[in-house]
Amino acid sequence: MITTNINSAIEALLNHELAAIPTETVYGLAGNAYDDTVIKKIFDLKKRPLINPLIVHIKSESYLNQVAQNIPDKALQLAKRFWPGPLTLLLEKKPHISNLLTAGKVTVAVRVPKHPVTLAVLEKLEFPLAAPSANPFGSISPTSAEHVFNYFGQSLDVILDGGECELGIESTIIGFEGNEAILYRLGSLSIEEIEQEVGTVRLNTKNDKNPEAPGMLSRHYSPKTDTYLTNNVSEMIRHFEGKKIGLLLFKNKFQNSGITTQEILSTNGDLTEATKNMYAALHRLDNANVEVIIAEKLPNHGLGQTINDRLQRAVQK
């Protein structure tokens, strides 16, 4: 059920059920982060591997010490600067935080979402929310309530509609080894923004066997349609000549009568706009009855690096 009534979501969450919630990044599949039965429901509904930890959403920075301990100064500095917002911190967990939630890790991923609807829900609860993206594992992330409904239908009682997600790509995940900041997932905060606060950040973004944080698996965020990423769209079109082709392009439409449909991420070449539009564009292409999606690589800096990361994990080759 899609609803704008926050009390419906609150009631479901208090009754040990799940609810889809809006955030500024993507929609989350939320449940009580202190309840292992609920956490297992999240993994089961998403068909998510148990090796892949979840993110805990808290109501404010002041709540952080209820889920994490021995918090580095740089982490506190980033929290003060970017919370509420699209930053997830990977920190040493408090003993009561479930090993199921953290995939057996001693760290917990935590953030404060920047969405008035979900913050209003969190304010009414005495527990934080575990909330990975509200999609089946490996599928395109949802940026609208309709995307969530198309995935789960009636198997999810409450889908809280907060409109289209403002940023449209998951949070950036930062952890720490000693005094060194480590980026585990590229996201809606660019590396450059993080480094302005805490200095050089080391990248560690791929781990298929034992991921320290969400979003590190090589295959992820994928359409059902075969998808290819390229620097040379013309060459790739020739390779698939005769097939129904959908294009995902940065800013310029492609002049080719053989193309079935095209999605332009930002006619102005704005990387922030492109980031917001990417998942929704992929959803439309995946539902456009094409045989192949060809995605164009973006300039590999700032949020362009984040988009390229997502597309690389989505493609066949």
DSSP secondary structure letter of residue 154: G
Angle at 24 between CA 169 and CA 127, to 5 degrees: 115
E-assigned strand segments in 12-54: 19-21, 28-32
What is the spatial order of strands in the sheet that 292-296 belongs to? Answer: 226-230, 292-296, 245-249, 259-264
Q: Tell which phi-psi region holds residue 138, choosing left (phi > 0), alpha (psi between -120 and 50) or beta.
A: left
Rounded distance between C-alpha atoms, residue 250 and residue 106, angstroms? 40
Over residues 132-139, the mean pLDDT reads 96
Homologous superfamily of the 2-203 domain (CATH): DHBP synthase (3.90.870.10)
Q: What is the pLDDT of residue 316?
A: 58
Structure-block tokens of residue 78 = 């980033």
CATH 3.90.870.10 placement within the chain: 2-203
Q: What is the pLDDT of residue 96?
A: 97
Structure-block tokens of residue 192 = 């450059």
Q: Are 230 and 295 in contact (CB under 8 A)?
A: yes
Over residues 206-224, the mean pLDDT reads 89
Over residues 100-127, the mean pLDDT reads 98
Over residues 208-216, the mean pLDDT reads 91
What does pTM read for this prediction?
0.96
DSSP secondary structure letter of residue 212: S
Helix, strand, coil % (nearest 5) of the chain?
A: 30, 20, 45
Q: Are 295 and 229 in contact (CB under 8 A)?
A: yes
Q: What is the pLDDT of residue 136?
A: 96
Proportion of the chain above pLDDT 70, given as a percent: 99
Q: What is the pLDDT of residue 220?
A: 83
Over residues 282-297, the mean pLDDT reads 96
Q: pLDDT tier at 217 (50, 70, 90 boundaries)? A: confident
Q: pLDDT tier at 160 (50, 70, 90 boundaries)? A: very high
Q: What is the pLDDT of residue 317?
A: 54
Structure-block tokens of residue 181 = 């900041």
Over residues 86-109, the mean pLDDT reads 98
Query: Which of the listed CATH numbers 3.50.50.60, 3.40.630.30, 3.40.190.10, 3.40.50.11030 matches domain 226-314?
Result: 3.40.50.11030
Residue 92 has pLDDT above 70, yes or no: yes
CATH 3.40.50.11030 placement within the chain: 226-314
Q: Tell which phi-psi region holds residue 70, choosing left (phi > 0), alpha (psi between -120 and 50) or beta.
A: left
Burial tier of 126 (Cβ tally within 10 Å: 0-12, 13-18, 19+)? exposed
Q: Are 156 and 20 in contact (CB under 8 A)?
A: yes
pLDDT in tens, 230-244: 999 999 999 999 999
Enclosing H/E stretch for 90 = strand 87-92
Over residues 95-99, the mean pLDDT reads 97
Q: What is the mean pLDDT of the chain?
A: 96
Over residues 192-208, the mean pLDDT reads 94
DSSP secondary structure letter of residue 153: G
